[in-house]
Amino acid sequence: MRRPTAEDVDAVFAVHGDPRTNVHNPAGPDRDRAASAARLHGWLEHSEEHGFGYWAVELADAPGVVGFTGVQHARWLDRPVLNLYYRYAAEHWGRGYATAGARHAVAWAAVHHPALPVLAYTTLDNIASQRTAAAAGLVRRPDLEVELNGLHAVVLVSSWSA
């Protein structure tokens, strides 16, 4: 895992522009390379400002980015959290990369930002994403779930104090 660079725009579009990786994303895939460039720009700004963010994931034995994972500052129910993110190219699904990346991100957050809960949210029908978040140590909290863009958001979180 490494910090993404502006040169990763094609990899961002390959992953985020693929309809297969966006089946459960209400916004759908990135419509073009410019949309992925804007997404990447936001990631890079966050990393520059905070010193961390989402990572590009590469395999040791093969060139190229296979996906993205990590945590970024966000807000949930008007509270600061670290949003856990993972999205991988469809041809790399089922190999444990998302789970390994999510676990690493949650462990990193526990060391570097222990006061902030790590939170993942997804749609009710995205069972694979829910399993990944749970495998990374997050626990479903129905009391934190809301409607987003007309869909029920399932929430899994590392901790949440009253």
Domain locations in the chain as residue ranges: 6-157
The answer for residues whose C-beta is within 8 angstroms of residue 52's C-beta and 6 or more apart is 70, 71, 72, 108, 112
Query: Distance between CA 33 and CA 17 in Å, rounded?
Result: 8
Q: What is the pLDDT of residue 149?
A: 82
Handedness of CA 157, 41, 90, 100 (dihedral sign): negative
Q: What is the pLDDT of residue 49?
A: 97
In the chain, at which residue ranges do the beta strands (DSSP E only) sit? 54-58, 65-76, 79-88, 118-123, 139-140, 146-148, 151-157
Q: pLDDT for 61-96, tens place per residue?
A: 888 999 999 999 999 999 999 999 999 999 999 999
From 3.30.300.10, 3.30.910.20, 3.40.630.30, 3.10.450.200, which CATH number describes the 6-157 domain?
3.40.630.30
What's this model's pTM, rounded to 2 decimal places?
Answer: 0.93
Any bridge partners for residue 54, and if so which?
70
Higher pLDDT, 22 or 41: 41
Does residue 162 carry a pLDDT above 80?
Answer: no
Grade residue 23 by pLDDT with cuts at 50, 70 and 90: confident
